[in-house]
Homo-oligomer: A and B are copies of this chain.
Amino acid sequence: MENPSEETPTPWEGLPSWLLGQTANHAHRLVGDGFSSVGARGYHYRLLATLEESGPASQAALGRRSGIHLSDMVATINELADRGLVERAPDPSDRRRNIISLTSAGKRQLRRLEKRLAECQDELLAPLSPEERQRLTELLSRLLDHHNQRAGTSEEPWR
């Protein structure tokens, strides 16, 4: 939002959905800036992290594990491969697949991103005490679980 100068409060300003969205915006900007300061963005971190924790895998598998849409994997991997952080190699046992793996440069970049990320969490939660941070995290987790569940169950009726 460009102009935070508000004399008269707007009707939507107190709504939880608005509060959530705005706070998430700040968080997003914080994290995004942190990432872009080392030439990366969210998808890069998510892919690198997934790659480290589950080892080399096909794009589709990585997409499932990281929650990145298959369509967006292509560009993300292109970008990372261009920077030499990741390698794309054909799978000899299944010619449809590419096997993506983390290079050592990729690992170093991941370390950098993790560091930035931790710093951002702290900046984000700066005005909150440790107990408050804990409570906020717990409340958000509950909300998220609830809504993720709803999303999962209504799609299950396949088969």
Contact = CB atoms under 8 A, between A and B. Distances in A.
A37 interface: no
B23 A65 contact: no
Interface of A is mostly: helix
A145 B9 CA distance: 13
Contact of A10 (B19, B65, B120, B128): B65
Contact of A136 (B5, B30, B139): B139
Contacts of A49: 10-12
B23 A20 contact: yes
Contacts of A26: 143-144, 147-148
Interface string A64-107: 11110100000000000000000000000000000000000000
A66 to B, nearest CB: 7
Contacts of A114: 11
A75 to B, nearest CB: 16
Contacts of A141: 14, 19
Chain B CB count within 10 A is highest, among A20, A139, A145, for A20
A133 interface: yes
Contact of A17 (B20, B31, B66, B139): B31
